[in-house]
Amino acid sequence: MGDLPLWRLEDLYPSRDSEAFRADLSRADEMATAFEAKWKGKLTEAAKASGDKGLGSAIEEYDALDDLLGRIASFAGLTYFSNTSDPANGKFYGDVQSRLTDLSAHLLFFPLELNRIEDAIIDAAIKADAKTAHYAPWILDLRKDKPFQLDDKLEQLFLEKSMTSAAAFNRLFDETMAELRFEIDGEMLPLERTLNLLQEPEEETRRKAAEALSKTFKDNLRIFTLITNTLAKDKEIGDRWRGFEDIADSRHLSNRVEREVVDALASAVREAYPRLSHRYYAMKAKWLGMEQMNFWDRNAPLPETPKALIPWAEAKETVLSAYGAFSPDMAAIARRFFDEQWIDAPARPGKAPGAFAHPTVPSAHPYVLVNYLGKPRDVMTLAHELGHGVHQVLAGGQGALMCQTPLTLAETASVFGEMLTFRALLDKTKDKRERKAMLAQKVEDMINTVVRQIAFYEFERKVHTARKEGELTADQIGELWLSVQNESLGPAIRISEGYETWWTYIPHFIHSPFYVYAYAFGDCLVNSLYAVYQNANEGFQQKYFELLKAGGTKHHSELLKPFGLDATDPSFWSKGLSMIEGLIDELETLDRM
C-alpha cells in the first residue's frame, strides 16, 4: 500500500516532556488565575463599559485562553490515541485532564455570570461595543444554556467530579477496547483488523471473524455492562438536576437543533426501513446466492467487487482530484494534510480504532486519524475525514469560541466530500459489473450512515429510558439491541446467537450519547444539498464555502436558507432519503440488464 504517513504532533509540542509543553501548562495556570481575579463579579459592570474594560475585551481574553487550553488538551489526546496501550501515554493523558479540570475551575464563573446579566444590558452592550458585537453569536448561543444552569458551586462540583465519573469510564472503555484481542486460526488480532475481515469475499473468513468478535465481546460483557449502566445513570443525574425533560434534550441543545426536527428525521428514516435496508438486503442476498444472509454478510463485497488493495498514493490522488473538480481551493486545503503530515494512516496495535478528524485549535491545524487497510471503503473514509478537516480549517477563522460547528452541520463537509469522491469514481467507471459493485457499496455506506445510525439512536433511547427504572443486565441490553437491529435490518438478515453483544464496541454510545443521529442528519442534508449542486448555476461553491466558514456562528436554518433548504419542512428528509432509494432503483435496473 506504499508508505503510510504518521502525523507530526510536533506542530503542537515537541514531546510530552518538552519544555514548551510544561511552559504552556504553567502559563495557562497563571492566565486562568489572573483572568478570574480580573473579571469575576465584574461582568455586569463590563457590559456597561467599552474598550479594554468592556465585555468584548473579557470575551477576547477568554477566547485566547480557550485556544491555549485546547492546544494542550489536543496534544494530550492525540498522543494518547496514537497508542492507548502505552501506560506512559495513559498517565500523561490522565494527568493533563486532571490539571485542566482544576484549571478550568477558575474559568467556570465566566459563562455562568455572563448568563446572569439582564437581556437588556446584553443587547445594549452588543450595540455599543464593537468587540462585544463581534462575539454576539457566541453570547446569544450561550444564553440558550441559561435555563439549564445550576448555581456556581454545583457547576464546579459537576466539573471536578467529571474526572472520576464520566471521564474515568470513558478512559476505561478506550483502554479496554485497545487491549482486546480476537483469535482467528490461532492468530490474535486487534479490533480494527478483525472488523475489516467482515468485508472479505470468503464467507468462511467473515464467519470466523464474527464468531471471534462475539466470543471476545461476551468474555468482556461484564465490564461493558458496568460502563454502560454507570454512564447512563451519570447522564440521568445530570439531566435531572439541570431540568431536561427528554433523555436526548441535552444533546439537542448542544447541537442547537429542535427536538421536533430530530423526531421528524428519526420517524422518516424508520418509515423508510422497508424501502431502503429491507429492500436492498433482499437484493444482496439474491446476488450472493442466499435466501437469507447471516449478520456477518451485511458488508460482504459483491462478486463483482475488485479484489486488489488500493495503494495509499492512489487513494490520495482519487480524493484530491475529486475535491479539485469541485473546487481547486478545497483540494489545496486537503493537500496540506498530506504534504504537512497532518494524517496518521497505519493500523497498528494500541492505536485508536476507527477514524476521526480532530480540529485542535485555530492557532494550530486539524489532524486526521484513519486506519488505512486498502479497501475501497477506506478511500471513502479518507474522503470523509478530509472533508471534516477542510471544514475545520475554514471555520478556524471564527476563533476558538465560535469555530465549533454543531453536530447537525458537522457532518456536512465530510459527507459532501464522500459524495464528490464517489461520483467522480462512478463517472469514470464504464464496466457494468464494476459500476454495480460501486453503487452497491455506496448504498451500503448510506444505509450504514442513515438507517444504522438511527437504529443506534433508537437503541440509546431504549437503554437510557430503561436505566431510569434500575440497573440493566447484559441480557436486557442485548434484547434492546436485537429489537432495533431486527427492525432496521429486515427479514433478509439472519440474526443468530452472538450478535446480541455487538453493542459493546460502539464508541459513540460511551463518548457522546445520542451523537449518532448527526450522521443521518448530515447524510440526508448532503443528499438534498448535492441535488441543489447538480442543478445549480454559478455561485454554489462560494455559498458552500460560506456555510463552512460560518463555524458555530449561525443556526442550521440560516445556513441552509441560501440553498433553498429547510430542515423543519417534513418533506426535507424525504428528499434526502429519496436519493438513496434512487440508487437502489439504479441497481435494480442494472441487475435486469
| Domains defined along the chain, listed by start | 9-164 (1.20.140.70), 181-304+450-511 (1.10.1370.20), 312-447+521-552 (1.10.1370.40)
Q: Is the pLDDT at 307 greater than 80, yes or no?
A: no
For the chain, the C-alpha Rg in angstroms (whole number) is 24
Amino acid at 473: T
- Average pLDDT of the segment spanning 172-179: 92
Average pLDDT, the chain: 93
- Average pLDDT of the segment spanning 330-344: 97
Q: How far is CA 484 from CA 413, 417, 447, in A?
A: 29, 30, 14
Q: Is the pLDDT at 437 greater than 90, yes or no?
A: no
Cell of 287: 446476488
The predicted-structure confidence for 386-401, as pLDDT tens digits, reads as follows: 999 999 999 999 999 9
Residue 399 backbone phi and psi in degrees, to 5: 90, 170
With bands split at pLDDT 50, 70 and 90, how would you rate the model's confidence at 29?
very high
- Average pLDDT of the segment spanning 523-544: 87
Lowest mean pLDDT among 446-450, 451-455, 525-529, 544-548: 525-529
**Could you tell me the sign of the dihedral formed by the alpha carbons of 481, 488, 531, 337, in that order?**
positive
Query: How far out from the chain centre does Cα 467 lie?
Result: 25
Cell of 109: 464563573
Q: Is the pLDDT at 338 greater than 80, yes or no?
A: yes
Neighbours of 435 (CB within 10 A): 17
* β-strand pairing of 343-346 with 367-372: parallel
* β-strand pairing of 367-372 with 356-358: antiparallel
More confident site: 460 or 412 = 460
Cell of 292: 437469507
Q: Is the pLDDT at 593 greater than 70, yes or no?
A: no
Q: Is the pLDDT at 316 greater than 90, yes or no?
A: yes
For the chain, give the percent of residues with pLDDT over 90: 76
The predicted-structure confidence for 347-360, as pLDDT tens digits, reads as follows: 998 898 889 999 99
Residue 431 CA neighbour count, 13 Å, CB half: 8
Q: Is the pLDDT at 434 greater than 70, yes or no?
A: yes
The predicted-structure confidence for 476-515, as pLDDT tens digits, reads as follows: 999 999 999 999 999 999 999 999 999 999 999 999 999 9
| pTM score over 0.75 | yes
Q: Is the pLDDT at 413 greater than 80, yes or no?
A: yes
Cell of 105: 475551575
Beta strand residue intervals within 347-459, DSSP E = 356-358, 367-372
**The pLDDT of residue 392:** 97
DSSP letter, residue 300: P
With bands split at pLDDT 50, 70 and 90, how would you rate the model's confidence at 308?
confident
The predicted-structure confidence for 535-577, as pLDDT tens digits, reads as follows: 876 789 999 999 999 999 988 889 989 998 888 887 888 888 9
